[in-house]
Amino acid sequence: MRNRLLNFLVILLIGLFISQASFAQRRKVMNLPKYDKEAYHFGFILALNQMYYTSKPLINTRSTPGFAIGILGNLRLGEYFDFRFIPTLSFGGREVAQLSNPDFYYDIPSTFIDFPFNIKYRSKRLNNIAAYLLAGPKYSMDIASTKKKNLGGFTTHRSDLGFEVGVGFDFYTNYFKFGTEVKMGYGIFNILKSGSDNIGTDQLRNKIFQLSFTFE
């Protein structure tokens, strides 16, 4: 199910870009022509996400849909490079199968305060469209982690450090820049606390897929 959703979102994003690019080839008026020359600007994001666990040895887990909101700060580094800081509040959850009964899943809610630091590489504008890539580290704090105590026979660390990569497109309107992007985040550290041996694994890491809409 989650693979179908991911494929659908990627196809939707590509289709949107192709349709907008075809329209942009006929359009001659450039919106916000000096926008990318500004030293800095601000905005906000709205996002949908799906949170996952990666484990070793592998255990059965499932994701549940979530959402995120955040404030965006963008600093111009060069003609095609920007530095972005996006403090975000992310809501979501995961389900972990019970070790003694694999057909029963525990619901593990999460509320993350995320602090991602991204380097964004933007392509040259095609009239009012530009593609971009981004990557960078992210610090996360799960403020709902205390609710997991003994819920699934394990507890996790509240803080985590990760790395995320993404791709997206910027659309320049008459009044603001609208962006769509897909991004994957991978936790670096094992968040499973010692003594949590009832889960069936000794390594647990965060992973998150996010579809974001940016307004700058």
Q: What is the tens place of the pLDDT at every residue in 148-177?
A: 554 566 778 889 999 999 999 999 999 999
At 87, is the secondary structure helix, strand, or coil?
coil
pTM (predicted TM-score)? 0.80
Residue 22, CA distances (Å) to 15, 25, 125, 127 in order: 11, 5, 14, 11
Q: What is the pLDDT of residue 8?
A: 55
User: What is the fold, at CATH topology level, of the domain defined by 2-25+37-215?
Assistant: Porin (2.40.160)
8 A C-beta contact, residue 207 and residue 55: no
pLDDT band, very low/low/confident/very high, at 76 (cuts 50, 70, 90): very high
- Residues 6 or more apart whose Cβ sits within 8 Å of residue 34: none
Answer yes or no: is pLDDT of 21 > 70. no
Cα 85 from Cα 154, distance rounded (Å):
33
Taking phi first (over 0 means left), then psi (-120 to 50 degrees means alpha), and beta for anything else, what does residue 180 get?
beta
What mean pLDDT do residues 133-140 have?
A: 97
Q: For residue 208, how many C-alpha atoms fall within 13 Å in the half-sphere facing its CB?
A: 31
